[in-house]
Amino acid sequence: MSCAYDAESGLFTIHTQNSTYQMVADEHRYLLHLYYGARTEGDLRYLVTYADRSGMCASPHDVQDRTYSLDVLPQEYAFQGGGDMRSPLLVVRDAHGTFGCDLRYVRHEIRDGKYALKGLPAVYSDTEDDGAQTLSITLTDARLGLEVELLYGVLPKLDIITRAAIIKNAGAEKIVIKRAQTACLDMVHGTFDAITFCGRHAMERRPSRRHVGHGSLSVGSRRGMSSNQYNPLMILCDRDATETSGRAWSMSFVYSGGFLAEIEMDQFDQVRMQMGLTDEQFSYPLKPGEQLIAPEVILTYSNAGLERISHNLHRCMRKHVCRGPWRDRPRPILINSWEAAYFDFNGDSLARLADKAAELGIEMLVMDDGWFGERKDDLRALGDWTVNEQKLGGPLRQLADYVNSVGLKFGIWVEPEMVSEDSDLFRAHPDWALSIPGKDPVLGRDQLVLDMSRKDVRDNLFEQLCGILDQANIEYVKWDYNRSIVDVYSRLAEDQGRVLYDYVLGLYDLLERIIQRYPTLLIEGCSAGGGRFDAGMLYYTPQIWTSDNTDAHDRMTIQYGTSFGYPCSSMGAHVSACPNEINGREVPLSCRGTVAMAGGGFGYELDLLELPERACEIIKGQVKRYHEIEHLVREGLYYRLSSPLTDAIAAWGYVAEDGSEALVSAVVMNVEGYGVANYVVPRGLTRGALYHEEYSDTVYAADAIMDMGIPLPVGSAPYMSRMYHFVRIDG
| H or E element that contains 25 | strand 19-25
The CA distance from 431 to 443, in Å, is: 16
Decide: 603 and 336 in contact? Cβ < 8 Å: yes
Q: Which helix (H) or strand (E) holds 32?
A: strand 31-38
Pair 258, 224: CB distance under 8 Å: yes
CA 565 to chain centre: 7
Cis peptide before 232 (omega within 30 of 0): no
Q: Which residues fall within 8 angstroms of residue 333, CB to CB, at 6 or more apart?
A: 361, 362, 363, 364, 602, 603, 604, 623, 626
User: To 5 degrees, how large is the angle CA 94–CA 100–CA 105?
Assistant: 105
Reported in sequence order, the residue ranges of 378-441 that DSSP labels E, i.e. its strands, are: 409-414, 418-419
Q: How far is CA 237 from CA 192, 211, 315, 631, in A?
A: 5, 10, 20, 31
CB 499 within 8 A of CB 485: no
Q: Give the E-state strand segments of 579-659 in sequence order.
A: 601-605, 637-640, 649-655
194 touches 108 (CB < 8 A): no
Residue 560 near residue 645, CB atoms below 8 Å: yes
What letter represents residue 525's amino acid? G
Instruction: Determine whether 480 is an active site residue.
Output: yes
Residue type, 149: E
Q: Name the DSSP letter for residue 314.
A: H
Give me the catalytic one of 266, 369, 480, 554.
480
Note whether 665 and 722 are within 8 A (CB): yes
d(CA 321, CA 541): 10
Of these residues, 102, 451, 534, 548, which one is catalytic? 548
Let me know the angle formed at the C-alpha of 558 by 717 and 272, rounded to the nearest 5 degrees. Answer: 135
Helix (H, G, I), strand (E, B) or coil at 650: strand
Q: How far apart are CA 646 and CA 37, in angstroms?
A: 31
CB atoms within 10 A of CB 501: 23
Which residue pairs, CB below 8 angstroms and at least 24 apart, start in 25-28? 25/105, 25/137, 28/60, 28/62, 28/63, 28/68, 28/104
Q: Which H or E element spans position 509? A: helix 499-517
Beta bridge partners of 259: 277
Q: Which amino acid is at 186?
A: D
470 is catalytic: no
Cis peptide before 60 (omega within 30 of 0): no
C-alpha distances in Å from residue 537, one per residue of 50, 172, 456, 527, 545: 43, 36, 23, 11, 11
Specify the length of the chain in residues: 731
| Closest to 467 measured CA to CA, from 371, 384, 386 | 386
Residues known to be catalytic: 480, 548
